Amino acid sequence: MVFNWNDPKRSAGSANDSDVPLEDRYPLLIDAVQDYAIFMLDPTGRVASWNSGARKIKGYVADEIIGRHFSIFYMPEDVAADKPGRELVLATAQGRAEDQGWRVRRDGSRFWADVTITAVHDTSGALLGFAKVTRDMTERMRLAELEHASELSAHMQVAREDEQRRIARELHDDLGQQLIALKMGIIALSQRLAANGTDPSGSAAAIALQGQIDSMIASLRRIAANLRPPMLDDLGLAAALEWLVDDFTQRFHMSVKFHTDIDDATVAPFAASALYRIVQEALTNVARHAQASEVLIEASSDADTCTIHIEDNGRGTIVADAGKRGSFGLLGMRERVRQLHGTLKIDSAPDKGFRIAVQIPINAIRPDESPPV
């Protein structure tokens, strides 16, 4: 059913509304609906009427679609599997058929449709055709997918932290202890060799082996601490940040000014991990990209907000280019901050350094908050 909107007698909301008979108002109402494609199919599945919602969702105007078979709206693989035909059979047998799936617009693009097909009979029970109502759910589905992806990412982050903590503990408690036992064995061996005085070169080799084991123990401690700094669990965020800064200063010979007044008792473990990882990634970026001589880190909190500033005086970058494909550091920081309901701002320009400002509502990091899973 297609209405001429220029016909003043048929225009919904015209001054002559009261002149339009009640039975004519339903088609007007259906045609006015924008959010649903509402149309009729004849018993063979050919389009028999079209409303403005159908035009908006599917892209066809009435003249070009009326008389065409409704399988034109289906994906080629669904047509090949005779899905349209099966839906009509189901609607005829059960009165209605419902489906959610991809459909095709006039321009070939896909949309996620929620479809109901209802069989329409006359008073004698003969099949007149089908009423088809289609809703475009693409945005809603994308939103649900995004929410799901973000929940998944929060869950993965917590799982990753747990796994890193477990590996760090195993490295320290198992491999670390074995290395220490090995070192003791070699010390005993070198003492025996020295006491015998029969093999001075063997004794020197045993001493060299001790040196190698010492450096293996140091590497192992560093790797374990990078996976999960023990102070994060034992001494809290401030001490862990202090350790991170010291380690960075020693390794990269860069001057780092660090100040924090964060009270560890006010930070939940998952929030402490997130804040620690943000500073860690920012420092890694300074080492990799900045060519800076100075870094400033300030972590503070007041009654409402926890704030972290990380700033360097290096070569900076064009901010719009900083989130390019294949780089995940800044993306990961943003995700962690988003999970804590905070904001992250980046300010940089070529030769003007790089500044990251993170603000998180204090309520989101309190120990009584549960992890964002």
Ligand X SMILES: Nc1ncnc2c1ncn2[C@@H]1O[C@H](COP(=O)(O)OP(=O)(O)OP(=O)(O)O)[C@@H](O)[C@H]1O
Quick check: 286 binds ligand X (CB under 6 A)? yes
Q: Show the site string, 282-301: x = touches Mg ion by CB under 5 A, - = not.
A: ---x----------------
SS3 115: strand
Strands 110-121 and 294-301: unpaired
53 versus 316: smaller Cβ distance to ligand X? 316
Stretch of residues binding Mg ion (CB under 5 A), selected from 69-77, 192-200, 313-321, 329-337: 329-337
Nearer to Mg ion (CB atom), residue 280 or residue 285 = 285
Instruction: Provide, rounded to whole angstroms, the least separation between the CB of residue 357 and ligand X.
Output: 13
Write each residue from 190 to 209 as x if it is in contact with ligand X (CB under 6 A), else as -, in one continuous string.
Answer: --------------------
Examine residue 348 and tell whether it contacts Mg ion (CB under 5 A). no
For ligand X, the nearest residue by Cβ is 329
Tell the burial category of 28 from Cβ atoms under 10 Å away from its Cβ (0-12, 13-18, 19+). Answer: middle
**What backbone torsions phi and psi does residue 324 show, to the nearest 5 degrees?**
-70, 165
Going by C-beta distance under 8 Å and a sequence separation of 6 or more, which residues neighbour residue 13?
none
Which residues in 298-357 contact ligand X (CB under 6 A)?
312, 314, 316-317, 322, 327-331, 354
Q: How far is the CB of 363 from ligand X (least distance, A)?
A: 28
Query: Would you give the distance in Å from CA 193 to the centre of its chain?
Result: 61
Q: From Mg ion, ligand X, none, which one binds at residue 184 (CB under 5 to 8 Å depending on kind)?
A: none
Tokens (6 digits) for 363:
């309520």
Binding residues for Mg ion restricted to 10-49, rule: CB under 5 A = none
Residue 169: enclosing H or E segment and its boundaries?
A: helix 138-170
Looking up tokens 């109402």 gives 29
Residue from 314, 329, 342, 372 in contact with Mg ion (CB under 5 A)? 329
Residue 84 near which of Mg ion, ligand X, none (CB within 5-8 Å, type-dependent): none
From CA 111, how far away is CA 88, in angstroms rounded?
21
Closest CB to ligand X among residues 66, 296: 296
Region near ligand X per CB under 6 A, out of 68-76, 172-180, 272-280, 282-290: 282-290
**Residue 342 binds: one of Mg ion, ligand X, none (C-beta under 5 to 8 A by kind):** none
Of 260, 293, 265, nearest to 279 by C-alpha is: 260
Q: Which residues pair with 65 in a beta bridge?
A: none
Nearer to Mg ion by C-beta: 15 or 324? 324
* Distance of closest approach, residue 181 Cβ to Mg ion, in angstroms: 38
Q: Which is nearer to ligand X, 13 or 326 (CB)?
A: 326
Minimum distance from CB of 334 to ligand X (Å)? 9
DSSP codes joined into one string, 267-303 = S-HHHHHHHHHHHHHHHHHIIIII--SEEEEEEEE-S
Q: How far is CA 284 from CA 199, 252, 268, in A?
A: 48, 10, 24
3-state SS assignment for residue 69: strand
CA distance 320 to 312: 18
Contact between 73 and ligand X by CB under 6 A: the answer reads: no
Residues near Mg ion (CB under 5 A): 285, 329
